[in-house]
Amino acid sequence: MSGMRFTITKRMALPCIGRTGVIQTPHGDIRTPAFIAVGTKATVKALTPEQIGATGVQAILSNTYHLYLEPGERIVAAAGGLSKFSGWGGPTMTDSGGFQVFSLGSAYKRGVTKVARDPLPELVEESGNSNRLARVDEDGVEFISSKDGSIHRFTPERSMEIQHVIGADILVAFDECTSPQDPRAYQEKALERTHRWALRSLQKHQELGGEQALYGVVQGGKYQDLREYSARTLAGYEFDGFAIGGSFTKEDIGTAVRWVNNILPEDRPRHLLGIGEPVDLFLGIENGVDTFDCVAPTRQGRTGALYTRSGRINIRNARFVSEFVPIDAECDCYTCRRFTRAYLAHLFRSEEMLAATLASIHNLRFVVRLVDTIRERIETGGYEEFRDAFLARYYSYSSA
Amino acid sequence: MSGMRFTITKRMALPCIGRTGVIQTPHGDIRTPAFIAVGTKATVKALTPEQIGATGVQAILSNTYHLYLEPGERIVAAAGGLSKFSGWGGPTMTDSGGFQVFSLGSAYKRGVTKVARDPLPELVEESGNSNRLARVDEDGVEFISSKDGSIHRFTPERSMEIQHVIGADILVAFDECTSPQDPRAYQEKALERTHRWALRSLQKHQELGGEQALYGVVQGGKYQDLREYSARTLAGYEFDGFAIGGSFTKEDIGTAVRWVNNILPEDRPRHLLGIGEPVDLFLGIENGVDTFDCVAPTRQGRTGALYTRSGRINIRNARFVSEFVPIDAECDCYTCRRFTRAYLAHLFRSEEMLAATLASIHNLRFVVRLVDTIRERIETGGYEEFRDAFLARYYSYSSA
């Protein structure tokens, strides 16, 4: 019996199937919909826990694969678990490690790579990708450490053991995240295996006990029948919630999410993995997503791409060097209250570390506040007006 | 008439010639002795102004050379001056640019280099260093930008113009910082020129007006007669305070500082440029230094070298990976109150930016608190006992 509880507060009117609610965890509540910040290696890059909290972020998602390699799950456990180790203190989530492991595998060098190394020559071909650093079999996946080249094996059972020890509030079943370029035949085969791994993850999770919650992962690529089949299959298992994985094209997101959420049981939370562009947040929420995580706000911020109500700007652009106004005059973040575009431009041009900190604070606050406003508008009215005005302003400028 | 006032609160008993006091500036007071943090490019690397303030730092020193090249002094001025541009708000100081320019010149590739580029072939030899990127003449110095290779000229008048525009509370006269390897004949020649530049700086400063204070720079290398001659010469000019420049060997610092401070007028503050090792702080203060600046705490911190009461540790060392205690149990800094050595070790091993932030906070707080404690002990008694206990513990471990 997990220590997580999900309560729905308000439902949107059809045709939307979105809702607001609260996910209660042993480390605190998450009001949904919510944007969850990514803290890959038990740190949201360049930010202290207080700086993260000040953006309104309610929970952090860390990566099992990275924490397993460094510092190792035993160190995190000995520190009292992820939330304590990182100093965050609030709700946390870990992914299964599947995305990172498979970005070395069938998806390696095909556009979803996160970690690069030379491939092991002896790795057997299965998906037709000769560059991969990981090999999938029925039992699990063998991969080469991006840290030191050593060989490791993840199975559903091992992923659950590691995640239990890391100690996040919400865990994710071990799955295979396929590449959009994989042929349909491979997608079908991988999906069946992901379903078997889901069951094995669940069984191991129940065996390990404790109050952590486990989410099953819906896959199925761009195929409606596979997505619906995946949702039906996982809906029959005793997961505490569901994550929606895989790559989407921009136009697909709302549609694919809806296929799935029309089937998933309404009383359990749904997390959309790795998605966080403003338009995607609206589409996801309208189609029943409760939580999101995405590296985009912080990663883009570190390159100088900053969000404003009127679209994204590149602060390295020459015109910002002498603009003595905040990044976004309507923003209430620390960066906008205290610093000018000119100072940010200077920090980026000087390659100062504070640039990454201030930009991450701003972009995180922007996205968190957007989702918070959506939640408020769903609860108190005026959602459509807010959405239409926001998107018209944000994207008209961006595409100009 | 500058807006700076210096009041001596208490004098140490002879043989020490140190004192405590207050430097009042238009942006606030500095209780002395004080450690001033270095914010080279209008940012103390990896720290927000609030994080700097929380370490107890009372003032920040930025580099004229760097701000002149990026973002340019006009941008800083248009923002309302250095303190406002950087968001710091408190007292600030700029150096003359001399050290950076000369680290490209006679001292280039001789151990005091801060900025590296290929030398201009046509640069004339004067000090016997064929690698240099700067050329000194009576009027000033010509140098190659470390940013884009363009050629620039600093003179005493130009340095004062730039510093006035940048708008710090305390400015420093343009000087030549020689290399310890320069022959005595060159040191003598450079010193005479530095004195002529001091007068030219002062004249230009008075002509420009305003409430900024100007410090003259005592040079003279390792030679007692030159140091004393320099102090006597500058003491005759209307500087608001004095900076002591140049390189010292470890054993020299107390002695060389004393030569100078025995001569400089007692009623004006003395700043020791670029020195900040714990033992040097004690020696400097006992011998009459009021303020220090040094990049060491933050620069060393960013490499993982962390100060503790029992000496410096390298947090990258394997043993710290599983030490779930603060860096220094007696430290009251944010990092020590919130995080363990194990977490810091993880951040450094993962090359996370937060490592630099947390390490800089700790090392800055360590040095600031040390100087603050020295000040308290001078004022309320027990200085010698504190010094002897601190140094015995700090250096016995470090040398072990």
| CATH (domain of B247) | 3.20.20.105
Query: What pLDDT does A113 receive?
Result: 36
pTM of the shown model: 0.93
Q: Residue B397: pLDDT band by 50, 70, 90 thresholds?
A: low
Q: Do B356 and A353 touch (CB under 8 A)?
A: yes
| Residue B270 belongs to domain spanning | 5-294
Q: Residue A326: pLDDT band by 50, 70, 90 thresholds?
A: very high
User: What is the Cα–Cα distance from A58 to A28, expressed in whole angstroms?
Assistant: 9
Q: Residue A399: pLDDT band by 50, 70, 90 thresholds?
A: very low
Mean pLDDT of chain A: 91
Let me know whether B74 and B127 are in one domain. Answer: yes
Pick the more confident residue, A168 or A98: A168
B176 contact partners, CB below 8 Å, separation of at least 6: B98, B102, B106, B136, B141, B190, B193, B194, B197, B219
Let me know whether B356 and B224 are in one domain. Answer: no
Residues in chain A: 400
Q: Is the pLDDT of residue B110 over 60?
A: no
Let me know whether B243 and B375 are in one domain. Answer: no
Query: What pLDDT does B54 receive?
Result: 98
Let me know whether B128 and B249 are in one domain. Answer: yes
Which of A294, A315, A340 is at the close of a domain? A294
User: What is the Cα–Cα distance from B173 to B157, expressed in whole angstroms?
Assistant: 9
Average pLDDT over residues B86-107: 82
Q: Is the pLDDT of residue B331 over 60?
A: yes
Let me know whether A141 and A263 are in one domain. Answer: yes
Let me know whether A24 and A119 are in one domain. Answer: yes
Q: Residue A245: pLDDT band by 50, 70, 90 thresholds?
A: very high
Which of B294, B325, B360 is at the close of a domain? B294
Mean pLDDT of chain B: 91
User: What is the Cα–Cα distance from A257 to A274, expressed in whole angstroms?
Assistant: 13
Q: Is the pLDDT of residue B121 over 60?
A: no
CB atoms within 10 A of CB B35: 26
DSSP secondary structure code for residue A340 in this structure: -
Q: Is the pLDDT of residue A247 over 90?
A: no
Average pLDDT over residues A270-280: 93
pLDDT tens for A120-132 read: 434 434 444 455 6
| Beta-carbon-side half-sphere exposure of residue A390 (alpha carbons within 13 Å) | 23
Q: Residue A104: pLDDT band by 50, 70, 90 thresholds?
A: low
Percent share of chain A, pLDDT over 70:
90
Helix (H, G, I), strand (E, B) or coil at A43: coil
Q: Is the pLDDT of residue B145 over 50?
A: yes
pLDDT tens for A347-395 read: 999 999 999 999 999 999 999 999 999 999 999 999 999 999 999 999 8
Query: What pLDDT does B125 receive?
Result: 41
pLDDT tens for B202-236 read: 999 999 999 999 999 999 988 999 999 999 999 99
When mean pLDDT is compared across A129-133, A282-286, A396-400, the lowest value belongs to A396-400
* B49, B71, B322 ranked by CB distance to A321: nearest: B71
Q: Residue B398: pLDDT band by 50, 70, 90 thresholds?
A: very low
Let me know whether B97 and B58 are in one domain. Answer: yes
Percent share of chain B, pLDDT over 90:
79
Structural domains in chain B (count): 2
Query: What pLDDT does A397 receive?
Result: 54
Using an 8 Å CB-CB cutoff, list chain A residues near B359: none
Using an 8 Å CB-CB cutoff, list chain A residues near B347: 43
Residues of B with CB under 8 A from a CB of A: 41-43, 45-49, 66, 70-71, 75, 78-79, 85-87, 321-322, 324, 334, 338-340, 342-343, 345-347, 349-350, 352-354, 356-358
User: What is the Cα–Cα distance from A353 to B266, expressed in whole angstroms?
Assistant: 40
Helix (H, G, I), strand (E, B) or coil at A361: helix
Flag whether A299 is in a domain. no
Let me know whether A214 and A308 are in one domain. Answer: no
Measured CA to CA in angstroms, residue A191 lies from A65, A183, A187, A211, A230 at distances of 21, 12, 6, 28, 7
Which of B294, B318, B333 is at the close of a domain? B294
pLDDT tens for B22-64 read: 999 999 999 999 999 999 999 999 999 999 999 999 999 999 9
Phi, psi of A15 (to 5 degrees): -80, -5
Closest residue in chain B to residue A41, using alpha carbons only: B350
Residues of A with CB under 8 A from a CB of B: 41-43, 45-49, 66, 70-71, 75, 78-79, 85-87, 321-322, 324, 334, 338-340, 342-343, 345-347, 349-350, 352-354, 356-358
Element (H, E) at A255: helix A252-261
Let me know whether B365 and B256 are in one domain. Answer: no
Nearest-CA distance B148 → chain A (Å): 12
Q: Is the pLDDT of residue A105 over 50?
A: yes
Q: Residue B74: pLDDT band by 50, 70, 90 thresholds?
A: very high
Helix axes B383-399, B278-286, angle to 10 degrees: 150
Helix (H, G, I), strand (E, B) or coil at A67: helix
When mean pLDDT is compared across A239-243, B34-38, B274-278, the lowest value belongs to B274-278
Let me know whether B119 and B241 are in one domain. Answer: yes
Peptide bond into B33 cis (omega under 30): yes
Average pLDDT over residues B91-112: 71
CB atoms within 10 A of CB A143: 28
Average pLDDT over residues B100-108: 62
Let me know whether A235 and A381 are in one domain. Answer: no
Whether the complex's predicted ipTM surpasses the cut of 0.90: yes
Let me know whether A91 and A228 are in one domain. Answer: yes
